[in-house]
Chain A
Amino acid sequence: EAQVTQNPRYLITVTGKKLTVTCSQNMNHEYMSWYRQDPGLGLRQIYYSMNVEVTDKGDVPEGYKVSRKEKRNFPLILESPSPNQTSLYFCASRSGGSRWTQYFGPGTRLLVL
C-alpha cells in the first residue's frame, strides 16, 4: 500500500530537548516536504527536498533542520524545541511531472512545555 508514515504520532517534550520526527514514503517519490498546521494559519511549509541531498527552506524554517540521505526518508529535527513549535506536523511526498498528487502522512502532534 502506498503510504507516508510518520513517527511518533504524539509527542510531549520540554523546551530545549532535541527531538526528531521521522518520515518515510514507499512510493519512490523524489519530492518530500514538511508542513506545520496551526489554528487560524492553515498549513505552512517548513522545508522541502527535491531529491537526495537536495533540501531547501519553505516559509517557516526557523528552528528546524532536515536531512535527505535516502530517497525514502526525510526526518524533521528540532535541535532546541520551544513552546511556539507546539503544532501539528505533516510530512508529504509526491512524484514529479505535471500530474502529480501530494500524499500526506497521518500527522505528528507535538507539545513543547
Chain B
Amino acid sequence: AQSVTQLDSHVSVSEGTPVLLRCNYSSSYSPSLFWYVQHPNKGLQLLLKYTSAATLVKGINGFEAEFKKSETSFHLTKPSAHMSDAAEYFCVVSARAGNNRKLIWGLGTSLAVNP
C-alpha cells in the first residue's frame, strides 16, 4: 500500500535562509510524487512533480525536490526563503486502487518565515 509521511508538522525559518521540508513515502511500485502548497484561505497549487524522469525536479517559485529511491524520500528545498513562502505544504504520492489512481496526501508541514 502507498503512504506518505511528512516528518515535520511545523518548520520555522528566517527570511533568506534555506528551507527543507522532509517527506518519506512508501510505494509498492515506482511512484509519482508531488508537492502542493496551500496559502491561507487559498486553494491547492502544484509546486512540482516527479514521474520517473530526472530525480531532481525543479518547480515554481525556486523550489526543488530530489527523489531518492534508496531512502524513499522526496524532500522539498529552497535555497533562500521569502516571506511569501509561508504556507502549508503537502507531499503527495499517487496510488492505484483498481481503476482509481488517486492521490495519498501527507498531513502537511506548516512553514513559517520570520523577518
Residues of A at under 8 Å CB distance from B? 31, 33, 40-45, 48, 50, 56, 58, 90, 98-102, 104-107
Chain B positions within 8 Å of A105 at CB level: 43
Which of these, B46, B99, B100, B105, contacts A43 with CB under 8 Å? Answer: B105
A105 to B45, CA, bound (A): 10
Number of A-B contacts (CB under 8 A): 41
Listed from nearest, the 7 A-B pairs whose CB atoms lie closest are A42-B105, A106-B43, A104-B44, A43-B105, A42-B107, A45-B102, A107-B43
A106 to B38, CA, bound (A): 10
Chain B positions within 8 Å of A58 at CB level: 100, 102
Residues of B at under 8 Å CB distance from A? 42-46, 49, 51, 90, 99-103, 105-108
| Contact present for B46 and A90 (CB under 8 Å) | no
